[in-house]
Amino acid sequence: MSRTVKSVGIIGTGRYLPERVLTNYDLERIVDTSDEWIRTRTGISERRISDADTATSDLATAAALKAMKNAGVTAGEIDAIIVATATPDMAFPSTACIVQSNLDAEKAFAFDVQAACTGFIYGLSIGEKFISTGDAKTVLVIGSETLTKICNWEDRNTCVLFGDGAGAAILREVECGEGILASLLGAEGWKGKFLTLPAGGSRMPASIETVKGGKHFIHMDGGEVYKFAVGVMPAATLKVVEKAGLTLEDIDFIVPHQANKRIVESAAKRLKIGNERIFMNLTRYGNMSSASIPVALDEALEQGLIKKGDNVVLVGFGAGLTWGSCVINWSR
């Protein structure tokens, strides 16, 4: 028996950022860096830092509660919880199961997605499939990270870039022709070595040596990731717009992954899209990996930058290396 494919959209969003702010000036006292270097090379001025007792699931739960309120959805109505994170509370249980328990979302199934900074777009695309095929009615997708807990605070190449936060979205069926019009996911696993957290898994189990060697921190070849990002961001945008049967002129707003101002501006230039059509908040938060896009989306909505009927592109890249993009016709 064939199934009817339903249109799926975001009916509510929410975000949560830890209160503590770490400015570039604070970082000047920690590593050999300067506010001037960080701002001119990345666009970042400050980032949020979670405290020692706070885990990724805590941020995720707070963002989810806001998205649920915004969407008018109760915990009992949620059929699936997908948490995109590169910084889970622990290897297992999944952060999604911990969030399920926090929310008392008893009937939901729950799992994590690991696609680093692209994770929220991966989660959105997976969640959409459950609803469009009729296997779920209401899906909660969260991007949540506590990246500052895996930063090496002695490595100026990486520790200035990242911040903590969480963003969430509720997905449901929407009017035919609205919601997610197209999505594309990709990976170039052979480039994975450019961005890794080497230890703590089966390849390099945790040991005194791995801790001493700083193998539980982010290791990044910034130049290679930069090259990947400036190529893939415009390409993934163009491809998904084409897949949706639209042109760039039909796109009202782009919410890109917030890693580096220069990467976003380079993508905008290649796409010949004015800065007023691209959202950026990385100056206040840095790169929050999977949380960057949903937090940016929630802020853009709050600021009235996205209206009903607008065509919005979400586009990101991250460790893996992965990339993803989607076009959403805004339905609220």
**Smallest distance from the beta carbon of 226 to ligand ACO, in angstroms?**
4
Residue 232 lies near ligand ACO (rule: CB under 6 A): no
For residue 93, whether the previous peptide bond is cis, meaning omega lies within 30 degrees of 0, is yes
Closest to 10 in 3D by CA, of 308, 316, 322, 320: 308
Residue 93 lies near ligand ACO (rule: CB under 6 A): no
x/- mask, ligand ACO, residues 128-167, rule CB under 6 A, reads ----------------------------xx--x-------
**Smallest distance from the beta carbon of 84 to ligand ACO, in angstroms?**
11
Cβ-based nearer residue to ligand ACO, 26 or 135:
26
x/- mask, ligand ACO, residues 27-46, rule CB under 6 A, reads ------x---xx--xx----
Question: Strand locations in 34-138, DSSP E?
Answer: 46-48, 80-84, 109-113
Structure tokens at 179: 């919601």
- Segment lying near ligand ACO (by CB under 6 A), choices 46-54, 170-178, 221-229, 294-302: 221-229
CA dihedral 100, 101, 103, 109 (to 10 degrees): 20
Binding ligand ACO (rule: CB under 6 A), the pick from 50, 146, 237, 289 is 289
CB 121 within 8 A of CB 169: no
**Smallest distance from the beta carbon of 261 to ligand ACO, in angstroms?**
9
Number of residues engaging ligand ACO in binding (CB under 6 A): 22
Closest to 134 in 3D by CA, of 6, 2, 11, 10: 6
Residues in 245-284 that interact with ligand ACO by CB under 6 A: 259-260
**Smallest distance from the beta carbon of 78 to ligand ACO, in angstroms?**
27
x/- mask, ligand ACO, residues 49-78, rule CB under 6 A, reads ------------------------------
Closest to 55 in 3D by CA, of 22, 93, 24: 93
Binding ligand ACO (rule: CB under 6 A), the pick from 116, 131, 182, 297 is 116
CB 256 within 8 A of CB 287: no
CB 328 within 8 A of CB 183: no
Binding ligand ACO (rule: CB under 6 A), the pick from 222, 248, 277, 310 is 222
Per the annotation, the verdict on 287 as an active-site residue is: yes
Minimal CB distance residue for ligand ACO: 222
Strands 219-220 and 109-113: unpaired
Cβ-proximal residues to 142 (8 Å cutoff; 6+ apart), any chain: 60, 63, 64, 81, 82, 83, 84, 96, 99, 123, 166, 167, 168, 169, 294
Residue in 287, 311, 326, 329 annotated catalytic:
287
Structure tokens at 7: 């249109």
Residue 76 exposure: Cα atoms within 13 Å on the Cβ side: 0
Which residue ranges make up the site for ligand ACO (CB under 6 A)?
33, 37-38, 41-42, 116-117, 156-157, 160, 195, 222-223, 225-226, 229, 259-260, 287, 289, 318-319
Q: Would you please indicate which residues are annotated as catalytic (active-site) residues?
A: 117, 257, 287
